[in-house]
């Protein structure tokens, strides 16, 4: 029901009604379940309101002791394998990431299976540190429907290439580099890549599922169930930044992006780190020497995860 009435699934003319319906549904859900605790091998989590939903999971406000955390709970037990895959991918990348790049990853505190006391169903759960002050690129796109200045998008593009480069060094393809999964902190120009539920890891290397509302964004190897590579993430990252710029994208950057969107994976760039160097050269040719450019968002832009009320 939450998925059906979620505000992200309707047009602007129905947004107010969807927000009201979702708030009512969340209130009813909270009233039904009341104050809850979830016990895991690593500790106990006191669970609060549902903050957001995606295609696979609910995001719940929680605390452990006095520390606020975020619980990601699979909605359908049949999707437990997706959250188990996310935990495995994050552990693999975290074990190999260099200290200077840890900030590009969400910090997963715990992952376990919890038995629902009402239904008896076993549901996969992952526990993350909160990312206060971050917003998704989906929210940024909504705030600037006519497109962002390419000079503002430049730092997001650069950091996004670092984030996927970190994954690729560990042999992981993120598989869902989409606007909802790229979070930025506007003031300090931070970026964190979340949504590792769809990651591809060795030896299979295939993306296990697609986000339905972004089906048209994926490169052809994903719906064809072929092996995903670094070029898969590069394709999706490029779609993200082009969508942010919209019609304001300079010709030089459109030309640069075109090579990242070629249909055959082998024809696209295969190395995010090398592509970052090439992007820096193109940005300097287009805008001159790099310098910090303050970036601010309207106060109405919702924090991630998007609150339901």
Tell me how crowded residue 187 is: count the other CB atoms within 10 A of its CB.
Answer: 11
Element (H, E) at 154: helix 150-169
Whether the Cβ atoms of residue 205 and residue 227 lie closer than 8 Å to each other: yes
DSSP, collapsed to helix, strand or coil, labels residue 213 as helix
Length of the chain: 309
8 band by pLDDT with thresholds 50, 70 and 90: low
Q: For 120-155, what is each residue's pLDDT tens digit?
A: 899 999 999 999 999 999 999 999 999 999 999 999
Give me the percent of the chain exceeding a pLDDT of 90.
81
Q: For 77-125, what is each residue's pLDDT tens digit?
A: 999 999 999 999 999 999 999 999 999 999 999 999 998 877 789 999 9
Q: How far apart are CA 109 and CA 130, in angstroms?
A: 11
DSSP state of 288: -
Stretch 226-234: mean pLDDT, rounded? 97
Over the range 93-125, which residues count as b (16 or more CB within 10 Å of their CB) and which as e? beeebeeeeebbbbebbbbeebeeeeeeeebbb
The four Cα atoms 63, 69, 75, 78 give a dihedral, to 10 degrees, of -110
Taking phi first (over 0 means left), then psi (-120 to 50 degrees means alpha), and beta for anything else, what does residue 65 get?
Answer: left
Task: Output phi, psi for 252, to 5 deg.
Answer: -60, -35
Whether the Cβ atoms of residue 164 and residue 134 lie closer than 8 Å to each other: no
Q: How far apart are CA 278 and CA 275, in angstroms?
A: 5
State the pairing for strand pair 122-129/36-40. unpaired
Q: What pTM value is reported for the model?
A: 0.89
State the pairing for strand pair 135-136/122-129. unpaired
Q: How far apart are CA 306 and CA 205, in angstroms?
A: 31
Closest CA to 174 of 273, 89, 83: 89
Domains by residue range for the chain, with CATH: 2-129 (3.30.200.20), 135-287 (1.10.510.10)
């Amino acid at each position: 029901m939450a998925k059906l009435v979620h505000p992200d699934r309707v047009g602007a003319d129905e947004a107010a009604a969807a927000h009201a319906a979702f708030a009512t549904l969340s209130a009813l859900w909270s009233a039904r379940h009341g104050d809850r605790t979830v016990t895991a091998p690593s500790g106990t989590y006191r669970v609060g309101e549902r903050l957001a939903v995606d295609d696979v999971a609910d995001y719940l406000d929680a605390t452990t002791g006095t520390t606020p955390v975020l619980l990601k709970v699979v909605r359908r037990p049949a999707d437990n394998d997706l959250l188990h895959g996310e935990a495995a991918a994050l552990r693999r990348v975290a074990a190999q990431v260099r200290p200077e790049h840890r900030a590009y990853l969400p910090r997963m505190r715990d992952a376990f299976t919890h038995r629902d006391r009402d239904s008896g169903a076993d549901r996969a759960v992952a526990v993350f540190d909160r990312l206060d002050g971050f917003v998704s690129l989906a929210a940024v796109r909504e705030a600037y429907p006519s497109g962002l200045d390419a000079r503002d998008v430049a730092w997001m593009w650069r950091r996004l290439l670092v984030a996927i480069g970190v994954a690729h060094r560990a042999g992981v393809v993120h598989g869902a580099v989409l606007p909802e999964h790229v979070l930025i902190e506007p003031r300090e120009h931070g970026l964190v890549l979340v949504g590792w539920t769809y990651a591809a890891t060795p030896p299979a290397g295939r993306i296990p599922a697609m986000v339905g509302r972004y089906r048209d964004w994926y490169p052809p190897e994903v719906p064809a169930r072929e092996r995903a590579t670094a070029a898969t993430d590069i394709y999706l990252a490029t779609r993200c930044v082009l969508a942010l710029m919209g019609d304001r994208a300079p010709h030089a950057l459109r030309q640069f992006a075109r090579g990242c969107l070629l249909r055959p994976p082998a024809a696209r760039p295969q190395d995010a780190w090398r592509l970052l160097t090439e992007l820096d050269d193109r940005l300097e040719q287009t805008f001159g020497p790099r310098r910090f450019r303050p970036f601010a968002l309207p106060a109405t832009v919702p924090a991630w995860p998007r609150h339901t009320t």
